[in-house]
Amino acid sequence: MSKRSYSRREFIRRNSLTGLGVTLTPSLLADGLTRIPQQPLDPIPAPAIFAAADTPAILGGKPIRTNEWPNWPMWHAETDEKRVLEVLRSGIWSRAGVTTEFEAKWAETVGAKRCLAVVNGTNALIAALVQLDIGGGDEVLIPPYTFIATVAAVLATGAMPVFVDVDPETFQIDPARIEGKITPRTRAIMPVHILGLPADMTRIMPIARKHNLLVVEDACQAWLAEIDHKKVGTFGNAGCFSFQNSKNIPMGEGGAIVSDDEAFMDRCYSYHNFGNPYGSVVGEVGAGTLMMGTKLRLAEYQAAIGLAQLPRLQEQTVLRNKNAEYLKAQIGQIPGIVPYKLYPGVTQAAFHLFPFRYQKEAFKGLPRADFLKALNAEGIPCASGYAPLNKMPYLAHAFQTKNFRRMYARDQLDINKYNARNECPQNDRLCNEEAVWFTQNMLLGSQADMNEIAGAIDKIYRNADKIKSLATK
Ligand SMILES: *Cc1c(COP(=O)(O)O)cnc(C)c1O
């Protein structure tokens, strides 16, 4: 279908004919639990919302959606509270058997030999980098399209983050730009599976091998995402996860490192427990502390919450993938809406967020900020996402610290030179002009909910002129 021939009738027809997703019963989320239907149900008929869709809510019309979206985090008294109460009543709240049990389950879930639970994803990244001996004087390649924790972790080790621009179609680090950023000081690549969509590990790993670089995967948004049925976080030397409250498997706070490298995992364990002996980090218990360490131990009640959330994560991930695929097919028909692409070989994504690019030219030049306001007014929460992390004052601040001034030559800390070397125009356009996100909980709704999202965008598309003239007044 050419963009020019796009019409409402066409949109409705396609909406009613494409049966990509599953239709879920409305009561599905009522008890805070989701169950995946055994078989796809019939595609639902053309949504009635279009009949009443004429005046945009932002111009005083009726919002397309007035229902709530699923709350986050979710828990269910019957399945979740027993274990947490057991921990509470045992009085054993500091790291013990429940944390070990969670680690074993998480390692098994992602298909790694070992897992270490830690206080959060940020410190999982720091511990992994430090135990791979990354520090002052080193450069670590990262994408600028990420959460600040990725960069903060690199800086915390004393290494210097070097930004590799993104592929705007996938929102991920662009493998084609990695080699151009490698210098004699480059020690590691830290791909981020941002938004829960897998980075292109199929191309990144051979580049790392060719240049003898370590790979630490920031999988803090990518629980259970897979490439060729292999979970992300298990491609590189180490993979790091977050279980913070907003994440797809929430514990309040929490994180994990996974790896198949036993000696590395022993060092991580020792490091997370003051450097005390563990595994191959041998020493008589009581003979003293062997390594420089810190304390990053998870608490038992956090692990108990994680154990309760794990089955839910698995069911919900399947549902998010189905709804995302359906929503993508729906909104991809609207001119100026360009949904994410997944790399070939991706067998599952995590969809911590559902991203698309908004191209205002197709919307009569309506700025993204006004599009977001109009969509929010329709009852569809949405956001513009990240701001460019390669252009923020914390970098100059880091370079002025005593440690950085002692570890690097003055020339290496010249912030103007650094900025010039770290320009990322693709990322700038995503952050400043095009990216739009929906949050993961919205993908836990029904197919009818997805139709409402698509219908709301369609309504704004058709009324872009009117909305723009109001917005510019
Ligand atoms: C959340 C997140 C982190 C950090 O995890 P915390 O548990 O919040 O410390 C790191 N990287 C990315 C991409 C994240 O989204």
Burial of 101: CB neighbours in 10 Å, binned 0-12, 13-18, 19+: middle
The candidate with the shortest Cα–Cα distance to 451, out of 377, 352, 383, 380, is 380
Q: How far are the Cα atoms of 83, 250, 298, 301, 376 from residue 103, in angstroms, in the given order?
A: 16, 15, 11, 14, 39
Distance from residue 253's CA to the centre of ligand 1 (Å): 10
Cα torsion 302, 303, 309, 313: sign? positive
Distance from residue 246's CA to the centre of ligand 1 (Å): 10
Could you give the residue range(s) of every CATH 3.40.640.10 domain in the chain? Answer: 77-310
Distance from residue 470's CA to the centre of ligand 1 (Å): 39
192 lines ligand 1 (CB under 6 A): yes
**Mean pLDDT, to the nearest integer, of 221-230?**
98
The candidate with the shortest Cα–Cα distance to 378, out of 370, 366, 387, is 370
Percent of the chain with pLDDT over 90: 85
Pick the atom of ligand 1 nearest to 247's CA.
1
Q: Are 326 and 320 in contact (CB under 8 A)?
A: no
H/E stretch holding 468 reads helix 464-471
Amino acid making up residue 163: F
The candidate with the shortest Cα–Cα distance to 116, out of 235, 272, 231, is 272
Pick the atom of ligand 1 nearest to 153's CA.
10
The count of other CB atoms within 10 Å of the CB of residue 178 is 22
pLDDT at 16 over 70: no
pLDDT at 10: 54
**Ligand 1 pocket: which of 150, 241, 389 to mutate (most atoms within 8 A of CB):** 150
Half-sphere exposure of 161 (CA within 13 A, CB side): 32
The count of other CB atoms within 10 Å of the CB of residue 209 is 10
Residue 280: pLDDT band with limits 50, 70, 90: confident
Class of 8-73+312-386+429-471 in CATH: alpha beta
Residues 424-433 pLDDT 10s: 999 999 999 9
Could you give the residue range(s) of every CATH 3.90.1150.10 domain in the chain? Answer: 8-73+312-386+429-471
**Mean pLDDT, to the nearest integer, of 179-208?**
98
Phi and psi at 434, nearest 5°, equal -115, -35
> What whole-number distance in Å separates Cα of residue 229 and Cα of residue 183?
33
248 lines ligand 1 (CB under 6 A): no
Which CATH fold would you assign to the domain 77-310?
Aspartate Aminotransferase; domain 2 (3.40.640)
pLDDT at 284 over 90: no
Distance from residue 122's CA to the centre of ligand 1 (Å): 6
Distance from residue 425's CA to the centre of ligand 1 (Å): 24
**Mean pLDDT, to the nearest integer, of 74-86?**
95
> What whole-number distance in Å separates Cα of residue 305 and Cα of residue 15?
39
> What whole-number distance in Å separates Cα of residue 442 and Cα of residue 72?
10
Pick the atom of ligand 1 nearest to 253's CA.
7
Pick the atom of ligand 1 nearest to 125's CA.
10
Cβ within 8 Å of residue 30, ≥6 positions away: none
pLDDT at 13: 46
Q: Which residues pair with 163 in a beta bridge?
A: 142
Two structure tokens written together for 347: 């067998």
**Mean pLDDT, to the nearest integer, of 235-258?**
98
Q: Transcribe 112-156 into DSSP letters.
A: -SEEEEES-HHHHHHHHHHHTT--TT-EEEE-SSS-HHHHHHHHH
122 lines ligand 1 (CB under 6 A): yes
> What whole-number distance in Å separates Cα of residue 63 and Cα of residue 52?
9
Q: How far are the Cα atoms of 233, 267, 333 from residue 153, in angstroms, in the given order?
A: 17, 18, 40
> What whole-number distance in Å separates Cα of residue 440 and Cα of residue 435?
16
252 lines ligand 1 (CB under 6 A): no
Q: How far are the Cα atoms of 85, 106, 310 from residue 79, in angstroms, in the given order?
A: 12, 19, 11
Question: pTM value?
Answer: 0.91
Name which residue sits closest to atom 2 of ligand 1, judged by CA. Answer: 220
Amino acid making up residue 375: L
Name which residue sits closest to atom 14 of ligand 1, judged by CA. Answer: 220
